Amino acid sequence: TKFEGQGFDRLRRVAPEAPEVEDASDAEPLDVRCARYIRAMNKAMPLLPPQLPESPSEQEMSKEVLVMEKMSQLRRKYGTKVHMRALELARSPSSAESAELAEVALELQKRFVTRRILPAPAPEPEVQKADVLAASPTPELASAAPGEVQKS
């Protein structure tokens, strides 16, 4: 047998494509980049995740994979520093510098809580105190036996 052809193929390593990382310099403040990142995440993630059946179809699975891929691309594009700041803001939207940033961070927090990425936020202390006062009986009724009303 005689071999006629090009012969052995050589594979060469090529430098991997550099992902499009946003300029990490301080050209823009971190919170401005963070607000853009959070808006993009809110757009990529629906508020309520779909309820997948026990055995989801290929189409349902591919939709979820696309959402996760979009989130991954955003994280690579904006960088780890912006992502970590966005998580801080999602945990505590009240720590945001501006009202607009707090608003988008609250929306991201809702999305993360519904996906169980973050735990549900604890109620604020004033709300807790009001709930305790509303739940406790008045002093007059607390000392009375059940079914008996004290006379004043």
SS (H, E, C) 41-88: HHHHCCCCCCCCCCCCCHHHHHHHHHHHHHHHHHHHHHCHHHHHHHHH
Q: Identify the residue whose tokens are 């520093």.
A: 81
Distances in Å between the Cα of 25 and the Cα atoms of 30, 78, 139 are: 10, 11, 62
pLDDT band with cut points at 50, 70 and 90 for residue 131: low
Q: Tell me, what's the pLDDT at 130?
A: 55
Which range is least confidently modeled, 13-17, 76-80, 139-143?
139-143
Model pLDDT, residue 44: 94
**Is 42's pLDDT higher than 80?**
yes
Q: Residue 11's pLDDT band (boundaries 50, 70, 90)?
A: confident
Residue type, 23: D
Asked if the model's pLDDT at residue 75 lies above 90, the reply is: yes
CB atoms within 10 A of CB 35: 22
What are the tens digits of pLDDT across the range 98-112?
A: 999 999 999 999 999
Average of pLDDT values for 15-43? Answer: 80
Q: What is the pLDDT of residue 2?
A: 77
> If 0-12 CB within 10 Å is exposed, 13-18 middle and 19+ buried, where does residue 97 land?
middle
Within its chain, how far is the Cα of 148 from the centroid? 52
Phi, psi of 14 (to 5 degrees): -120, 145
The whole-number pLDDT of residue 22 equals 54
* Mean pLDDT for the chain overall: 81
pLDDT exceeds cutoff 60 at 132: no
